[in-house]
Structure 1
Amino acid sequence: MTVLEETYTLSNGVEIPKLGLGTWFIDDDKAADAVRAAIGIGYRNIDTAQAYGNERGVGEGVRTSGAAREDLFVSTKLAAEIKDYDAAAAAIEESLTKLDIDYLDLMLIHAPQPWDDFRGGDYAEGNRQSWRALEDAHKAGRIRAVGVSNFLRHDLENILAHGTVAPHVNQVLLHAGNTPEELLDFCGERDILVQAYSPIAHGTLLGSRRIKTIAEKYEVSVAQLCIRYTLQLGAQPLPKSANPAHLRSNADVDFEISEADMTALRTLDEHDYGEHAAFPVYSGA
């Protein structure tokens, strides 16, 4: 069994494939080809977001992939700016319409604050409103699982204290050189699966000499080592690629990182995101 066939089980019993395809920065007119290529290789977990602007293309790729809908796991995210029940409910329906795949396997609140105030003001009530809209769509069978993204402990505690459904997932920035141990422990204790977007730090780790040295020990690429690292943490990585060769390579991670090397990767400090530091999630906030 390869990693593409392996799954985690969410707290509500829904199975989610261990390796997913991230689609950030894949244009809408190229998304269908990327999704079809990934599914053809064996990927069954596809992640998008309203903010990516490619839900239509992702949905087309899913519908025309030749794979049965029930064999695929498709996620999207509610725009971070939406902190109101009615707006959230309308946006959920809009995503379902754009994707045109009958139902969603997972939908997340993209961030606890709007992007222009990331890690800024208090949006606790707005998050409760948006979460209630997700809960209602979940209870209606429109979404199989619900979760959040970029939520810190206090953001999660707000939802856990006021919601009727606990988040099934928290998608965060997690990679070798940036391992939020306390958040991982908090989510693990509450049976919230951690998803790792940018497990290769949006590609910036490819130039890390320290990580390359460890990768050479296993005769694997830096990308493969980084993906394997997140898997061994018990997280679910979402590497982004539209290149079939990279898609295959990213899934070829059937090796074991030693405990000593896992410790070394956990304790690395790799926060230089270069030009990508302009994005809120890489800003260090």
Structure 2
Amino acid sequence: MRPSRPLQFTALGLGFLFLYIPIISLIVYSFNESQLVTVWTQFSLRWYKALWYDDELINAAWLSLKIAVLTACASVAIGTWAGFVLARMGRFRGFTLYTGMINAPLVIPEVIQGISLLLLFVEMAKVFGWPAGRGMFTIWVGHVMLCISYVAIIVESRVRELNPSLEEAALDLGATPLRVFFTITLPLISQALVAGWLLSFTLSIDDLVLSAFLSGPGSTTLPLVVFSRVRLGLNPEMNALATLFIAFVTIGVVAANYFMQRGQRKRLTGVL
């Protein structure tokens, strides 16, 4: 027996309220004059002004943004190749090992991954003298290792849904496999690539554990700064910074959805 429509809307509304009321309250209290984050006094931009002069927080946010963008781009490039191999190359020799290595970061705790990478970089520095220290590069490597698996799974599931007759027809007409990939396959899986990019960006900018192991002096990411400050008490500047990030991410997601839908409409118009 299917539940009634009012019950469905009620459950859906409660779910959305549970998810978004904390975010809305955070945005509202970012405009609060009081230093107490849970006591409203009056509307003010005080904490946005304070955030503007907080060099530590701004530098950490800028570093996290740069690492997140680089991580997302590298993860999509490598993860797309990995997912395509999983979906199209069949069960080749070493397929089980290959699949296990792709999926390993999903099941291995980040603490273990962080310790392993830290030991790797320390030994490489002893043997080769590189990397000389831990910083942006080592954090980026750790985040890419984590995010590749997510992109590969998303791309694999999308590639498996494609109709191979489109690519076979292009090959029969004389197109090279490389041109078929960039002309036909890549546009068809573009939504999966955008989803993988956004997911990688979010995972990177939100990561705390790997960054704690792989960061060094002068390379403190935003989650590390926020975590160190929150332990001493909630700071209204965090609400202001979180509001700016929410606005930035919302604009990015809306823009990505708009361009994907416009591209989809163009392809459908071309087919019709």
* Common fold by TM > 0.5: no
More helix by share: 2
Q: When you count strand as a share of all residues, which structure comes out higher?
A: 1
The bucket for the TM-score relative to the shorter chain is: under 0.3
Larger Rg: 2
Work out which structure has the larger RCO, using CA pairs closer than 8 Å and 6 or more positions apart in sequence: 2
Using the size of structure 2 for normalisation, the TM-score is 0.22
